[in-house]
Amino acid sequence: MGWRDHFKCQVNIYARGETHSWSSELPLPDYIPLKLLLINQSGFDQISKTSKRSLSLEHRKALWVYQNTHHSIWSELVEQFTQWMKAHAYEGEIVLEVFEAATPVVLQFLSQTKIKAKITVRVHKAPLAWLESEFVKTRKKNISLRQVTSSDCLWATTPQLIGKLAA
């Protein structure tokens, strides 16, 4: 899985015995300035120099796109997802299987939602710990976040970005 594949948004929702899916894609930049991906120049301030050295160019490109996607694009995706969730009027326990770039969308949605139901979020193929520090931390009693790692995940080799939540 290359860095470009990482910017598809997909969420599978399981509630009341039903399964539904939402998907979208981030527009990718035409150009990524290589100079900004170098260890000493990168803007990934929360990551130590030692950890930065362990990141591949694919990791850095993906993180750069996350950081440099305009706020309005993230807001539009959050609004689309919010409207989609409202249309389905979920109640009871909800399980969200979140893939790739849908992670910051769902994190933002969860920080704003007033849904009282118990929500379990299982994040796949995304740097959850890093995204939480960059976008928004979701700390509500009814929400449980878990990182799911697999061998085909770009982030499987970077525990400092996915955190200690791996399940």
The residue type found at 52 is: K
The sign of the torsion formed by the CA atoms of 72, 74, 75, 77 equals: positive
pLDDT digits (tens, 9 = 90+) for 100-136: 889 999 999 998 888 888 999 999 888 887 788 777 7
Q: What is the pTM of this model?
A: 0.83
Q: 67-71, long-range: CB within 8 Å, 24+ apart, which pairs?
A: 67/43, 67/134, 68/29, 69/26, 69/27
pLDDT digits (tens, 9 = 90+) for 53-75: 777 778 878 888 888 888 999 99
167 is written with which tokens? 């399940």
Is the confidence at residue 41, as pLDDT, over 60?
no
